[in-house]
Amino acid sequence: MEHLNLDLPDLSQLMAYENVIIAVVIVGVLIFGAKKIPELAKTFGKAKGEYEKGRLESEKELKDFKDKEDLK
């Protein structure tokens, strides 16, 4: 069996990601304004929830279809 290589990032890589996240937040505030950010986050959360609900429903329908085909 093949061994997966799951190396953890070192401190300098984590600091680089932190700087990117901070830059994205600053750009977001500049583009949308501080008052609009919570509204955008709420909308994004709802959209993600709807996506997950649709994904689960389609997986269930596909499983049901496969089960019906297996019975034939």
- For the stretch 4-25, pLDDT in tens is 555 666 767 667 788 888 888 8
Rounded CA gap, 22 and 28, in Å? 10
pLDDT digits (tens, 9 = 90+) for 59-68: 999 999 888 8
Q: How many CA atoms lie within 13 A of 31 on its CB side?
A: 8
Indicate the residue type of 28. Answer: G
